[in-house]
Amino acid sequence: MAASCMLLASCANPVPDAYIEDLGEEVPGVPQSDIHRPGQPCLLCHGPYKGVEPEMTVAGTIYGYPFDLGVKGGDPIPVEGVIIELSDSFGNSPPEPPKTNCAGNFYLTKEQWNPAFPLRVAVRYPVPGDEDGERVSMGTRISRDGSCAGCHTGRPTQGSPGWVYCTQKTADAPVFTPPETCTPSEGD
């Protein structure tokens, strides 16, 4: 009996538990769906540890521009329609590359793609007048964490490059604007 209790107790991992608690409650009015919790590390819950359905292998949020110290809150403008191009260490890619929704979120379930890390990744963001859009590659590989926000959070610090963004906010950059409305995709 005592051994069983110890076995059960050992299933909890205080480190991810603390991270999950730090994420806080859901935003009121946003249903638990493919548009909830943008910018947060999805796999903390939707990964092997918590196993919340759907279980994901790669997931994240793409914003238009980098964190801007001059704007309150950093100007997080999610971008819809960004295509995420991925390949794993065997050269395999998802059958269909995922696309971001109106919250800037994208994800791949374990059933859709179960890659062998490390991964290469690039994003192709929409540019008016250019049907191919603009492709930007990540400078390093993803070694093991399928959550973009496991490393890419908020403003740049000595431990994070900041959130994932499409382009610097230059004069010739596409103008991204926040969506007026955002509803969950069908089936979510």
The residue ranges that bind other proteins (CB under 8 A) are: 89, 116-118, 139-145, 150-151, 156-162
Is residue 35 classed as helix, strand or coil in its secondary structure? coil
Burial bucket for residue 90 (CB in 10 Å: 0-12, 13-18, 19+): exposed
- Cα–Cα–Cα angle for 12, 18, 24, nearest 5°? 125
- CB of 5 vs other proteins, minimal distance in Å: 28
Nearer CB in complex with other proteins: 30/151: 151
- CB of 16 vs other proteins, minimal distance in Å: 13
Pinpoint the alpha helices (H) of 11-82: 14-22
Nearer CB in complex with other proteins: 73/159: 159
Nearer CB in complex with other proteins: 160/167: 160
Nearer CB in complex with other proteins: 54/162: 162
- CB of 73 vs other proteins, minimal distance in Å: 19
Measured between alpha carbons, how far is 59 from 72 in angstroms, rounded to an integer?
26
- CB of 145 vs other proteins, minimal distance in Å: 4
- CB of 156 vs other proteins, minimal distance in Å: 4
User: How large is the C-alpha radius of gyration of the chain?
Assistant: 18
Nearer CB in complex with other proteins: 89/185: 89
Burial bucket for residue 182 (CB in 10 Å: 0-12, 13-18, 19+): middle
Q: List the structure tokens of 74.
A: 């950093």
